[in-house]
């Protein structure tokens, strides 16, 4: 998974280092150090729940924009692959990015879905400075693709009320913004209910949040409340409507989040010198919420919610199932042609089986004749 080359180049142009690479890094040393210092301050403010992306906009744009862009692109591809009926019959895809910032959410969705379709992207934010950067990104996209229209406006939507439209949105995305809109312990279901009214019959809301435990568990709270109050349907990451298995494991303090490997841009590696941050994995939590229930086709499919642990004499991982968190194990001596796909699975994959051995609750075993199939891979 990579950031598109033209997006990477546009970022470098907008932070005034268009020729940045390993050879030219020394020439830009002063600018690089300024961005690194801003990164430290951004991190400190994030830990204290202080919004400061406006204040340190170059650092946020150089570091956070590409990661948020690729997260949205990954989720767009996943939704389109698993639920193609949502977009197949649409001539134009209308996307609303609430709290759009520089537009990473809506631009990432566009890149994940783009084909011969037309796109109308609407970005709203309270920050004039962020909207200006978003506008600068917009120019390069519109010059390359005549099938895309972008509308930007300054607006506060913390109440969840949007302007009435004749053409409703196919996707509404919140990319790392709900923590700023709602600083308390929960995200009001009423807010989500109001936003859903702005989507068409097959419309979805995509929420992306940082992988921090408190924010991820808050998203899990929202997921459970939506299901309990019948205010919508959770399409992803869950493939069932029962209690979240990780949410119930309180003693182990678990939380549902993703960790996806990607090829970070060279310029990010240059900036990261001295910061030593984990930039080789995209870590986040998310929900995809719909008006309609489209999940029936995935009965018998399960989400992998851990890495594949390689231990002496065996391999194992954990699955999210309607019955709870399940440990899935295969002894090395039982590896066969039928079950060899088990060696390729990674966190975030969706898998299915034939001839699985379920000996005791919450422990499943792969036998020699068990057929393992990877239905979807996030890391493609």
Supply the pTM of this predicted model: 0.92
Q: What is the pLDDT of residue 140?
A: 79
Q: What is the pLDDT of residue 162?
A: 67
Contact 379, 343 (CB under 8 A): no
Mean of pLDDT values over 152-161: 78
Picking from 270, 348, 369, 305, the residue whose alpha carbon sits closest to that of residue 74 is: 348
Tell whether the model's pLDDT for residue 350 goes beyond 70.
yes
Window from 71-75, 159-163, 262-266, 299-303 with minimum mean pLDDT: 159-163
Q: What is the pLDDT of residue 212?
A: 87
Q: How far apart are CA 11 and CA 35, in angstroms?
A: 13
Tell whether the model's pLDDT for residue 165 goes beyond 70.
no
SS3 call for 258 = strand
Mean of pLDDT values over 65-90: 93
Q: What is the pLDDT of residue 23?
A: 93
Q: What is the pLDDT of residue 180?
A: 85
Tell whether the model's pLDDT for residue 122 goes beyond 80.
yes
Q: What is the pLDDT of residue 308?
A: 95
Q: How far apart are CA 56 and CA 70, in angstroms?
A: 21
Mean of pLDDT values over 26-33: 93
What value does the mean pLDDT of the chain take? 89
| Percentage of the residues of the chain whose pLDDT score is greater than 70 | 96
| Best-predicted range by mean pLDDT (110-114, 295-299, 368-372) | 368-372
Burial 157-167, CB ≥16 within 10 A → b, else e: beebebeeeee
Distance of CA 174 to the CA centre of its chain: 10
Q: What is the pLDDT of residue 226?
A: 94
Q: How far apart are CA 350 and CA 373, in angstroms?
A: 9
Picking from 178, 236, 277, the residue whose alpha carbon sits closest to that of residue 378 is: 236
Using alpha carbons only, how large is the chain's radius of gyration in Å?
Answer: 21
Per-residue pLDDT reduced to its tens digit, 234-260: 999 988 888 888 877 655 577 888 999
Reading the block at residue 163, the tokens are 């302007």
Q: What is the pLDDT of residue 264?
A: 95
Tell whether the model's pLDDT for residue 187 goes beyond 60.
yes
Q: What is the pLDDT of residue 232?
A: 93
> Residue 164: which pLDDT band, with cuts at 50, 70 and 90?
low
Q: Are strands 371-376 and 350-354 parallel, antiparallel or unpaired?
A: antiparallel
Helix (H) or strand (E) holding 141: helix 128-144
Q: What is the pLDDT of residue 249?
A: 67
> Residue 116: which pLDDT band, with cuts at 50, 70 and 90?
low
Tell whether the model's pLDDT for residue 120 goes beyond 80.
yes
DSSP for 69-130, written as a single string: HHHHHHHHHHHHHH-GGGTTT-SEEEEEEET-TTTHHHHHHHHHH-SSSEEEEEEEES-HHH
DSSP for 288-354, written as a single string: EEESS--GGGGTTEEEE-S--EEETTEEEEEEEETTEEEEEEEEGGG--TTTGGGGG--TT-EEEEE
Provide long-range contacts, Cβ within 8 A and 24+ apart, for 17-26.
17/267, 20/267, 20/270, 21/266, 21/267, 21/270, 22/266, 22/270, 25/270
Q: How many CB atoms lie within 10 A of CB 49?
A: 11
Per-residue pLDDT reduced to its tens digit, 360-374: 888 999 999 999 999
Mean of pLDDT values over 116-135: 90
Q: How far apart are CA 73 and CA 378, in angstroms?
A: 11
Domains and CATH numbers, the chain: 5-297 (3.40.50.150), 300-376 (2.40.50.140)
Q: What is the pLDDT of residue 331?
A: 96
Mean of pLDDT values over 186-209: 93
Mean of pLDDT values over 12-40: 93
Q: How far apart are CA 100 and CA 120, in angstroms?
A: 14
Contact 153, 124 (CB under 8 A): yes
CA distances from 18 to 85, 266, 268 (A): 41, 13, 13
Tell whether the model's pLDDT for residue 263 goes beyond 70.
yes
Q: What is the pLDDT of residue 107?
A: 96
Helix (H) or strand (E) holding 133: helix 128-144
Mean of pLDDT values over 115-143: 87
Mean of pLDDT values over 114-135: 89
> Residue 53: which pLDDT band, with cuts at 50, 70 and 90?
confident
| Percentage of the residues of the chain whose pLDDT score is greater than 90 | 63
């Amino acid at each position: 998974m990579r950031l598109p080359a033209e997006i990477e180049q546009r970022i470098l142009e907008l932070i005034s280092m268009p020729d940045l690479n390993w050879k030219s890094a020394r020439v830009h040393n002063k600018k690089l150090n300024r961005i690194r210092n801003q990164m430290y301050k951004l991190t400190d403010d994030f830990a204290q729940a202080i919004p400061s992306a406006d204040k340190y906009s170059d650092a946020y744009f150089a570091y956070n924009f590409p990661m948020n862009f690729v997260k949205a692109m990954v989720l767009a591809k996943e939704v389109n692959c698993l639920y193609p009926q949502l977009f197949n019959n649409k001539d134009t895809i209308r996307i609303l990015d609430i709290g759009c910032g520089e537009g990473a959410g809506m631009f990432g969705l566009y890149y994940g879905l783009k084909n011969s379709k037309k796109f109308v992207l609407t970005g709203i934010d309270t920050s004039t400075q962020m909207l200006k950067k978003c506008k600068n990104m917009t120019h390069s996209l519109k010059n390359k693709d005549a099938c895309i229209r972008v509308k930007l406006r300054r607006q506060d939507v913390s109440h969840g009320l949007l302007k009435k439209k004749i053409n409703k949105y196919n996707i509404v995305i919140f990319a790392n913004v709900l923590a700023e809109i709602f600083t308390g312990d929960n995200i009001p279901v009423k807010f989500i209910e109001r936003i859903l009214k702005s989507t068409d019959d097959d419309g979805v809301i995509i929420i992306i949040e940082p992988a921090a435990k408190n924010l991820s568990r808050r998203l899990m709270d929202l997921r459970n409340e939506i299901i309990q109050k019948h205010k919508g349907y959770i399409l992803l990451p869950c493939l069932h409507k029962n209690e979240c298995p990780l949410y119930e494991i309180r003693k182990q303090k678990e939380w549902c989040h993703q960790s996806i490997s990607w090829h970070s841009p060279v310029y990010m590696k240059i900036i990261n010198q001295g910061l030593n941050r984990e930039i080789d994995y995209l870590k986040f939590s998310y929900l995809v919420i719909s008006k309609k229930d489209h999940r029936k086709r995935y009965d018998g499919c399960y989400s992998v919610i851990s890495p594949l642990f390689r231990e002496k004499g065996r391999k194992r991982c954990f699955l999210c199932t309607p019955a709870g968190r399940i440990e899935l194990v295969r002894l090395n001596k039982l590896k066969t042609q039928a079950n060899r796909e088990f060696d390729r699975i990674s966190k975030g994959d969706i898998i299915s089986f034939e001839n699985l051995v379920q000996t005791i609750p919450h422990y499943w075993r792969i036998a020699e004749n068990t057929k393992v199939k990877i239905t979807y891979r996030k890391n493609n």
